């Protein structure tokens, strides 16, 4: 039997609430498989920082890196909390993990499940995946300011794009496209203005395309991509883009396909040199934390991505099927974002579908 070491980081706010449900589903779906998840809980996040002053220590990182995969809820305190001003939990912890564990692929699928209301009048079929670069771009912290606080202040935040970094994520995206029925890859960038990085991304896509003759390739400027994502999202199959464009586009993608309560993601190190990390796209939602109002579906779908990544495709498909069945029972009169059922009731319903409906 196979043992998988799973690091669990529930985090702050609704993080622990949605992770409790995700773990329930993980345990239920693998109960009869020949696999055991050995879980280690890590208390990291704003609450931990306020207690100890630590965000992510070298010991934390080493301990987490010794696992096969990571499941994360959400981290971050109430925006604007002065006690967290110097901590920068998002950079220190979330980006700390993504960068240190070389999560160069940030995989963010968008699927409009049957029965889910979209804010679009005519959404059509929405079934695409954004492959967002995860370790470069303007996120690297290559910046600085001079004359801060004066009218002469200059603040730079330089986007870093390396041939190595762009090529590996582009090649991964081609692989994803080749594995899907439509085999269509769209590069999203802003090559008309960001000429140096844009040229590198475009040349890289052109070069790697030669290895994937079955994949058809096109290009959109990021501003036009937002038009299509609203006006005709069915045109997208696989999108490859940089860290910041990908961040913004995937919130839009979540909004058109049922909302932030359904959006799942994987931060992947494809070579498996480091554990990959799976998390809902949403944050710690301090406005609804502790009230059992959060929809755990995004966290549960992140478990499906985790199972898929670990080669447990059958279990992953069963989780997706149970989520699809559960969503179909919801009525359109309710917002999907604050569930009419408690967080635990949604998790329990999905577990029941898994265990008693033969899924």
Hey, which residues are catalytic here? 139, 190, 223, 247, 251
Q: List binding-site positions for Mg(2+).
A: 223, 247, 251
Q: How many residues bind ligand NAD (CB under 6 A)?
A: 24
To ligand NAD, the closest distance from the beta carbon of 71 in angstroms equals: 12
Query: Using CB atoms, what's the residue nearest to ligand IPM?
Result: 90
Closest-CA residue to 260 (of 119, 163, 78): 119
Distances (CA, A) of 335 to 119, 123, 289: 11, 17, 17
CA 47 to chain centre: 22
Query: Using CB atoms, what's the residue nearest to Mn ion?
Result: 247
Position 92 contacts ligand IPM (CB under 6 A):
no
Phi-psi region of 243 (alpha: psi -120 to 50; beta: other; left: phi over 0): alpha
Q: Pick between residue 246 and residue 347 the one whose CB is nearest to Mn ion.
A: 246
Q: 294 is written with which tokens?
A: 């959060």
To ligand IPM, the closest distance from the beta carbon of 205 in angstroms equals: 23
| Sole binder of ligand NAD in the list 95, 187, 285, 315 (CB under 6 A) | 285
Q: Which residue has the tokens 């059509």?
A: 124
Q: Phi first, then psi: what are they for 134, rounded to 5°?
A: -120, 0
CA 168 to chain centre: 18
Q: Pick between residue 96 and residue 198 the one whose CB is nearest to ligand NAD.
A: 96
Q: List binding-site positions.
A: 98, 108, 132, 223, 247, 251, 283-295
User: Which 56-95 positions form the footprint of ligand NAD (CB under 6 A)?
Assistant: 74-77, 79, 90, 94
User: Which 265-294 positions form the footprint of ligand IPM (CB under 6 A)?
Assistant: 281
To ligand NAD, the closest distance from the beta carbon of 46 in angstroms equals: 7
| Sole binder of ligand NAD in the list 282, 309, 318, 330 (CB under 6 A) | 282
User: Which 246-265 positions form the footprint of Mn ion (CB under 5 A)?
Assistant: 247
Q: Phi first, then psi: what are they for 33, rounded to 5°?
A: -90, 165
Distances (CA, A) of 186 to 130, 215, 216, 238: 9, 10, 9, 6
Q: 233 is written with which tokens?
A: 């999202």
How far, in Å, CA of 209 to CA of 171, rounded? Answer: 9
Q: Are strands 35-41 and 2-11 parallel, antiparallel or unpaired?
A: parallel
Q: How many residues bind Mn ion (CB under 5 A)?
A: 1
Q: Pick between residue 116 and residue 298 the one whose CB is nearest to ligand NAD.
A: 298
List all residues 6 or more positions away from 161 whose beta carbon is below 8 Å from its beta carbon: 136, 137, 196, 197, 200, 201, 242
Number of residues assigned to the chain: 359
Q: 114 is written with which tokens?
A: 């049957």
- Segment lying near ligand NAD (by CB under 6 A), choices 61-69, 170-178, 284-292, 345-353: 284-292
Q: Pick between residue 294 and residue 350 the one whose CB is nearest to ligand NAD.
A: 294
To ligand IPM, the closest distance from the beta carbon of 146 in angstroms equals: 25
Residues lying near ligand NAD in the complex (CB under 6 A) are found at 14, 18, 74-77, 79, 90, 94, 260-261, 279, 282-288, 294-295, 298, 337-338
Residues lying near ligand IPM in the complex (CB under 6 A) are found at 90, 94-95, 247, 281
Residues lying near Mn ion in the complex (CB under 5 A) are found at 247
């Amino acid at each position: 039997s196979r043992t998988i070491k799973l690091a669990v980081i529930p985090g702050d706010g609704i993080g622990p609430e949605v992770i409790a449900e995700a773990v329930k589903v993980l345990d239920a779906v693998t109960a009869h498989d020949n696999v055991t998840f050995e879980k280690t809980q890590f208390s990291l996040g704003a609450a931990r920082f306020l207690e100890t002053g630590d965000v992510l220590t070298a010991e934390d990182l080493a301990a987490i890196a010794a696992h096969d995969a990571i499941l994360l809820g959400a981290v971050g305190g109430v925006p604007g909390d002065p006690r967290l001003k110097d901590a920068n939990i998002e950079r220190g912890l979330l980006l700390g993990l993504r960068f240190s564990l070389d999560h160069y692929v940030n995989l963010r699928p968008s699927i409009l499940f049957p029965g889910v209301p979209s804010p679009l009048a005519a959404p059509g079929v929405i079934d695409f995946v954004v492959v967002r670069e995860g370790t470069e771009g303007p996120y690297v912290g290559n910046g600085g300011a001079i004359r801060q606080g004066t009218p002469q202040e200059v603040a730079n935040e330089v986007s870093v794009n390396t041939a190595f970094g762009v090529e590996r994520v582009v090649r991964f995206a081609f692989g994803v496209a080749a594995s899907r029925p439509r085999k269509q890859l769209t590069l999203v960038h802003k090559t008309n203005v960001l000429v140096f990085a844009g040229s590198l991304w475009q040349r890289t896509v052109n070069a790697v395309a030669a290895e994937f003759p079955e994949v058809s390739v096109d290009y959109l400027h990021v501003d036009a991509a937002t038009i299509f994502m609203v006006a005709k999202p069915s045109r997208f199959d696989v999108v490859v883009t940089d860290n910041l464009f990908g961040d913004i586009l995937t919130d839009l993608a979540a909004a058109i396909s049922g909302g932030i309560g359904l959006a799942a993601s994987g931060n992947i190190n494809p070579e498996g040199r480091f554990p990959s990390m799976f998390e809902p796209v949403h944050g710690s939602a301090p406005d609804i934390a502790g009230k059992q109002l959060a929809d755990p579906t995004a966290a549960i779908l992140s478990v499906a991505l985790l199972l898929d990544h670990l080669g447990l495709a059958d279990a992953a498909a069963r989780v997706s099927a149970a989520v699809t069945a559960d969503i179909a029972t919801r009525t359109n009169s309710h917002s999907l974002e604050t569930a009419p059922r408690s967080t635990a009731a949604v998790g329990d319903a999905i577990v029941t579908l898994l265990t008693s409906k033969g899924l």
